[in-house]
Chains A and B, each alone.
Chain A
Amino acid sequence: MSAPDAASGSTARAARARRAWLRDLRQVALFTGKRLLALFVTVLVGVYLTIVIANMGGQVDDLRLAQIEATIGEEVRADPGFFDLPSEERNEIIERRVQMEVERLRLDEPFIMRSFDYLQQAIRLDLGRAEQMHSDAGSRQVSMIILERLPATLLLFGTANLLVFVVSVFVALVLSRRYGSPGDRAVIALAPSSAAPGWFYGIFLILVFAFVFPILPDGGMVEVPPPEGTFAYWLSVLEHMTLPLLAMFISTIFISIYSWRTFFLIHSSEDYVEMARAKGLPERLIERRYILRPTLPPIITSFLLMLIGLWSGAIILEQVFNWPGLGTLLFEAIGYRDTPVIIGGVVIFAYLLAVTVFLLDLLYAVLDPRVRVGSGE
């Protein structure tokens, strides 16, 4: 390279950059593919475990059989059309109907067979038909029932999470700059309040804002009957969302601010940040390039981990606020012992978690240079 032609040098550099970029892309794709495969196996195992637990290893079938016999016996005995029949004939009818019901629910096959069947269907998200429940629109397809409830859950928890995440990171950045100020101390003092889950604050909020000062509804998602017009409808939803949102916000915000602030403080005392300060770089730039950029992967991780934790918490918060989401659905399904819906619900939860984990991996691959060069695990 003693006397290089400027033009050919620049093309060579461009080619090299493109090659590097392609290599990065290949690495990321490879990594993503591997993770996707691993996650798929993980979901497979997780869903199968769920199916086994949901069926109590087959014992639930006995319970269901007894229930079927009881209800059909009742039906036939209460039917005036069968009153004149002798009891043997009636018993025969009962038996035949029980047999039909057993075949409909495929209880005559061994559980092991059905479990793999369930698994295969669950993985394809073909969640089958509910045994007892139906969606509000009247469909008995489990996927329809779940689809009807999913938006409500996503709306509530998505909004709450985003709100908590954005507010806490922003406030934490401000506080870490004013470390030791009264606001900072207040957050430290308030952090232990997050020991209580959202539904706990929910009860208090309902008590105060729905009963003592009745200004907000105590539960549900919209008014009954739903108001006419899109705007009025969403206004009503917003009104119903306020309390659950607030409950989740209160229960997570302080601990979240506290941990971010601590995290930022630790990172802002790193040597390279001191170096940047010594160079006299403006504070904003230091924050963006020297503190936020290297801490981005952990921030994303913790955000997604928080999401994972909140999926579970959804059940109770939804129950307390009577929010027609997945959690309430799952709880109702368990009340009906409707195995397909239970499995469907848990499968969806498992998928949501898996998607969350996958997003995490993907973001890591994009954000963490070590993954791109292929040394990352």
Chain B
Amino acid sequence: MSRWRAGLQQLRQYPSAVAGAGIILLLVGVSIYSVVAIPYSQALDLWRGGDMWQDHPVNAGPVWADRLAGGAAPRTQTVRADDERVQTEALPGARRIGMPLTFHYDADDFPSELNVFLRADVHDSEAFVRLTWVTPDEREIPLVSRRVSGDQRVSLSQDLDLERRLQAVPHIALMSEAPADADDAPPRVLTGDYELRLDAILFHPEDSLDAELIVYGRVHGLAGTDHQRRDLMVALLWGTPIALAFGLLAAVGTTVTTLVIAAVGVWYRGVVDAVIQRLTEVNMILPLLPILVMVGTLYSTSIWVMLGVVILLGIFSAGIKMYRAMLLPIREAPYIEAAKAYGASNARIILRYMIPRILPVLIPTFVTLIPTFVFLEASLALLGLGDPELPTWGKVLNDAQTQSALYHGFYYWVLSPAGLLMLTGLGFAMFGFALDRVFNPRLRNL
């Protein structure tokens, strides 16, 4: 044990080892936080997407990136009616409600979308709702009128009639300064207090109406959102434990099995060794990634199936040759003979006497192997073979790739998962390299 402690002591002298260990600890911390803060089933639900994200903007960048660049891009505003300002007027057999939804807008860019969510609890006949837009400079623009029952979404931005009438995309036309005559200049944002006036007629005394205007921003949260309005933070957070688990399990699975098999071959020699050697040679010409891609398309893209295949194909990896070379001299060492003399079983000699001898040499390889598998998972996801349910970094990259994020200028979408991948890779690689120098005596002075 003292040898290990001495090794750790030595490690502290390498700044890269300290930095690497720091990054690894940070990632482990993020993993624990994500798993605790967003339980597994909830994470899956969130990532499946759907209505729960309807108050999030599409493809919004992170807030901090915009603010750092000195921008004042709009955040999403959810506007509800102020109860005190709701006017009710009784009519014969009906009720008229005037509901102003007011908000202050001071961003330097147009919102990305405008949606009104209506909820009418009606009893006999549908409620009738008319929407009017009032700009800060007192222009009144009639929007739409419609009958409402139950939940209804009025997508102002996708309203083609309105777009034709305004001669521009609604969320731009409604929020811009009054166009000057004969002016081809691009529309400018008009800041100030806006009002969406809702005039509704309800036909039953117990009917009620609720409305919500969402002025979708162009920035959202720390990570931004994707094309399905999902907050990328979910995937970035949950991607961490998945990446670490995959990398760790794959690394453990392949190195431990490979090591044991190499030791078994060296110990028994003869036929066993020959079979292991030939299998390794067969395995060497099996192309790992094409086979993984094949398994992914034909069987299942579940991350655990992939993990299984990676480990299976990794058992007889080229590493066996290296371990064999290291184990061969150990086999003849006097202490093994001593063990044989006191009657140690074959399993005991292999597991307790041979393998521990080369473990120190193995640990650095093991640590540097982890990011390889993390990137392997990302690679598969990038090819569209990511796990169908789990949010992973690779899947975010794949979404970005298929949605041409770079072409559209959504750099955050690519940079944040890529940055995390890089961080993971660097952390483990730096730590592993330092370990290598400490545990491999030949490298110690270099």
Residues of A within 8 A of B (CB): 38-39, 41-43, 45-46, 49-50, 53-54, 56, 60, 179, 188-189, 191-197, 199-200, 203-204, 206-207, 210-211, 218, 262, 265-266, 305, 308, 311-313, 315-316, 319-320, 330-331, 334-335, 337, 342, 345-346, 349-350, 353-354, 357
Q: How far in angstroms is the closest Cβ of chain B from A205?
A: 11
Is B287 a contact of A353 with CB atoms below 8 Å?
yes
Q: Chain B 373-417, CB within 8 Å of chain A: the 1/0 string?
A: 001001100110000000000000100010000110101001100
Is A353 a contact of B284 with CB atoms below 8 Å?
yes
Q: Chain B 168-202, CB within 8 Å of chain A: the 1/0 string?
A: 00000000000000000000000000000000000
Is A193 a contact of B426 with CB atoms below 8 Å?
yes
Is A330 a contact of B383 with CB atoms below 8 Å?
no
Is B411 a contact of A207 with CB atoms below 8 Å?
yes
Q: Chain B 259-285, CB within 8 Å of chain A: the 1/0 string?
A: 000000000000000000010011111
Tell me which residues across on chain A come within 8 A of B16, comparing CB atoms: 189, 192
Tell me which residues across on chain A come within 8 A of B442, comparing CB atoms: 266
Is A342 a contact of B411 with CB atoms below 8 Å?
no
Cα distance A330–B296 in the bound complex, in angstroms: 13
Tell me which residues across on chain B come within 8 A of A345, comparing CB atoms: 290
Cα distance A192–B295 in the bound complex, in angstroms: 31
Nearest opposing residue in chain B for A207, CB measure: B406
Complex A-B, nearest 5 residue pairs according to Cβ-Cβ distance, in ascending order = A192-B429, A195-B425, A195-B429, A349-B287, A312-B289
Is A196 a contact of B433 with CB atoms below 8 Å?
no
Nearest opposing residue in chain B for A193, CB measure: B426
Interface of B is mostly: helix
Cα distance A36–B256 in the bound complex, in angstroms: 31
Q: How far in angstroms is the closest Cβ of chain B from A207?
A: 5
Given the interface contacts A42-B278, A46-B286, A197-B375, does A315 sit within 8 Å of B293 by beta carbon? Answer: yes
Nearest opposing residue in chain B for A266, CB measure: B442
- Chosen A-B contacts, 24 in total, with CB atoms closer than 8 Å, are A42-B278, A42-B281, A49-B282, A56-B299, A179-B446, A189-B16, A192-B20, A192-B426, A192-B432, A195-B372, A195-B426, A197-B375, A199-B379, A200-B418, A204-B418, A211-B407, A218-B406, A319-B382, A334-B294, A334-B297, A345-B290, A350-B285, A354-B285, A357-B281
Cα distance A39–B446 in the bound complex, in angstroms: 39
B166 proximal to A (CB < 8 A):
no
Cα distance A87–B298 in the bound complex, in angstroms: 35
B288 proximal to A (CB < 8 A):
yes
Extra 9 A-B pairs, beta carbons < 8 Å, given A195-B371, A350-B285, A357-B284: A56-B298, A191-B433, A196-B421, A200-B421, A203-B414, A211-B406, A312-B288, A316-B383, A353-B284
Tell me which residues across on chain B come within 8 A of A349, comparing CB atoms: 287, 290
Cα distance A46–B281 in the bound complex, in angstroms: 9
Tell me which residues across on chain A come within 8 A of B372, comparing CB atoms: 195
Nearest opposing residue in chain B for A176, CB measure: B446
Is B293 a contact of A330 with CB atoms below 8 Å?
yes
Tell me which residues across on chain A come within 8 A of B240, comparing CB atoms: none
Partner of A315, one of B285, B375, B383, B414: B383
